[in-house]
A and B are shown apart, each in its own frame.
Chain A
Amino acid sequence: MNEFIHPSVFFIICAVIVWFLPGKIARFIPPLAAILGIISVFSMKEGTYAEVKYLTFILHMGRVDSLSMVFANVFAIQALIGFIYALHVEDRWQHMAALMYISGAFGCVFAGDYATLFIFWELMSISSTFLVWLRRNPVSSRAGYRYFLFHTIGGLFLLAGLLLRYKAVGNFTFEAIAPSSLQFFDYLILIGFCVNAAVLPLHAWLPDAYPEATITGAVFMSAFTTKTAVYVLARGFSGVEILGIMGTLMTIYGVFYATIENNARRILAYHIVSQVGYMVAGIGIGTAMTINGSCAHAYAHILYKGQLFMGAGALLYAAGTAHLSELGGLFRRLPWVFFLYMIGAVSISGFPLFSGFISKTITIAGVAEAHHTWLALGLEIAAVGTFLSVGIKLPYFAFFAKPDSGIPLKKIPWNMYAAMGIAGFLCFLIGIKPDLLYGLLPHELEYEPYTKWHVLQSMMILCFTGLGFYIMRKKLTPEAKRNADFDYLYRVIGKSVVAIARKPIELIDNLWSEFYAKVGLKGMLKMAGIMAWFDKAAIDGVVDGTALGVKRIGNSASNVQTGNLQNYLALAMIIGVVIFAAVWFG
């Protein structure tokens, strides 16, 4: 098959179908979309497809090349895994949000120009907000609102950048930009991308919102938003050196917070910041090897991070909390959750035989070979922190540490286990057969992960991290605290702006009150006397006449105001159409 069918089409059609079905049946539809998506992606050939004329522009919706293929490939697989994991969910709105979200992700990956990219970019941002809101509690309502605000700002940066760019160069072409010729508008676009890639200090939305999303929503969100951003960065901004530095800082920053966090899903969210840091760093260095490393790591990361979020989600589903301080000793009652979680944990930590080992080491080796020794050292530090927090701390305090907390557990549905089984198998498969992944990468790769030294070095780092944990295990006990991140700073700034704005007004108000009390009162009384005379003598006569007129208008207005919302909306629409027609034909 040589035809290109845009995978988003399946997801959008299924979203519409789901809308019309009752939840009990609707939940079986999304996996079908994912299967069709996989077939479509795996049968694609490189080329340019789906050019749609819109107004005076051509929207390029089907750029299929080696770079977009890697991401589309893993997106399709993760969509299927995620929908199997969500098979028991009967809330059809959640399925619709997830379907629209994934269609947005595919749209971004295949977008050949900035205008198309922006449309799908916003589709992702809106639908993922619903994945947070649909958890339907006050905490997630607020977190979702903050998430949406942040992404709207990011989207506006992107929009401003692409419009200014259009004005300057006259097209929306989305191609790689030489780092030496970056213009002001390119930086605006870069900032928009960096918001979604959770680059410091624009990352706070991620650990804020992901832990408050629905159990299944977080699994989707962990895969698509940041990785779409990684894709567009790799596409447009490879070799921009600041990304190399920021990426390395992200890796360490993420594990730093993960070490002290209490909520299991927030620990994992901080690890997205950390792991995406590896990809951003690789893109920033921009050699063929580090770009390969970033793509390989994105691929592996989507699978093992999904696995970890599914594991933590299963804990939350069964126990009703993901706070480590309330869990503990669950190994005997949830052995399979532990086992499957650990596959994700050893993968992310880069144990030999698992996917992280064959992807993370490419980036680190590539960075070191490009003579960015300090950055490579930073990435190694983060590798230690990764295993410390996700590989040991989280499972130790959830499944062991204390005697069984006796917390009542709800039965975990079979489909959750099935999804984790598939993801775990893939993590292992990629780990033992790295060429399956290496064959997909955009550049030729000459790299052999399984040398004696690589294996020994990894095992030394990881096992001695274990020793470090053993020594520090008492100190690392999670506490029921939330740690201030950059978002706290935004709030402090916001509050002080309000305070600063309020002060002068308060001052004027106070002065006025004082003035009024001392000077104004006497004058006012005199003034009032004059006014009263004027009122009686002059105004009354005029007003009486006007009042009748007002009453008449009020009556006809109240005929329009029927109090029915639909009437208002219809009226608003008619007025809108009239105004539009007036502008259009006028």
Chain B
Amino acid sequence: MLNITESHLKKAFFLILVILVVLNFFETPHSPHFVLDKYPGFWAIFGCGVAIILAKVAKGSAHTFLGKDEDVYMENNKTMPIVDDSHHQEHH
């Protein structure tokens, strides 16, 4: 029985990343659509970079001006109690 730990998975993941970039040196697009995508590794930097920037910008916005209380739409609600009884409604 193989004993796979988290560090094994991590190593395998990084190995895959390296293999992909190495392959990119041999396989390039026939007709690059964007100027930079003829260089090997462009899509690697693109994927990682966009993910980080998106996470930073989105989380930053959520923390500054977008984040509201989760029941922001239940304001002025004096008569109806907030009960999430959907759980019981789905089956009788």
Using CB atoms and an 8 Å cutoff, list the residues of chain A in contact with chain B. 23, 88-91, 135-143, 214-216, 255-257, 259-260, 262, 316-317, 320-321, 365, 368-369, 373, 376-377, 380-381, 384-385, 388, 410, 452-453, 456-457, 459-472, 475-476, 479-484, 488
Contacts and interface: CB of A to CB of B under 8 A. Distances in A.
A463 B27 CA distance: 17
B77 interface: yes
A479 B67 contact: yes
B54 A91 contact: no
Interface string B62-92: 1001111111111001001111111101111
B48 A464 contact: yes
Given A256-B54, A260-B62, A381-B50, A142 B29 contact: no
A316 B84 CA distance: 11
Contact of B73 (A143, A257, A316, A317): A143
A377 B54 contact: no
5 contacts: A138-B77, A256-B54, A461-B46, A462-B47, A468-B49
A453 B24 CA distance: 9
B46 A452 contact: no
A138 B82 contact: yes
B27 A472 contact: no
Q: Is the interface of A mostly helix, strand, loop or mixed?
A: helix
B52 A385 contact: no
Q: Is the interface of B mostly helix, strand, loop or mixed?
A: helix
Contacts of B49: 468
Most buried by B among A316, A461, A480: A461
A488 B69 CA distance: 12
Contacts of B84: 137, 139, 320-321
A475 B55 contact: yes
B59 A384 contact: no
B54 A384 contact: yes
Interface of B: 13, 16-17, 20-21, 23-24, 27-30, 33-34, 43-52, 54-59, 61-62, 65-74, 77, 80-87, 89-92
A482 B68 contact: yes
A270 to B, nearest CB: 11
Contact of A377 (B20, B21, B23, B34): B34
Given A138-B81, A464-B51, 9 more contacts: A91-B89, A135-B86, A136-B86, A136-B89, A140-B86, A260-B59, A470-B13, A472-B56, A483-B61
Contacts of A259: 54-55, 58-59
A497 to B, nearest CB: 16
A505 B16 CA distance: 70
A483 B66 contact: yes
A137 B83 contact: yes
A277 to B, nearest CB: 15
Contact of A480 (B30, B51, B70, B77): B70
Given A377-B34, A385-B54, A463 B17 contact: yes
B28 A453 contact: yes
Contacts of B82: 138-139
A385 B54 CA distance: 7
Contact of A142 (B44, B51, B74): B74
B58 A260 contact: yes
Contacts of B90: 89, 214-216, 317
Contact of B56 (A90, A135, A381, A475): A475
A464 B59 contact: no
Contacts of A257: 58
Contacts of B92: 23, 90-91
B27 A481 contact: no
A142 B48 contact: no
A465 B48 contact: yes
Nearest to B59: A475
B54 to A, nearest CB: 5
A321 B84 CA distance: 9
Contacts of A457: 29, 43
A481 B69 contact: yes
A75 B19 CA distance: 41
A460 B20 contact: yes
A58 B82 CA distance: 49
Contacts of A380: 46
B83 A138 contact: yes
A221 to B, nearest CB: 15
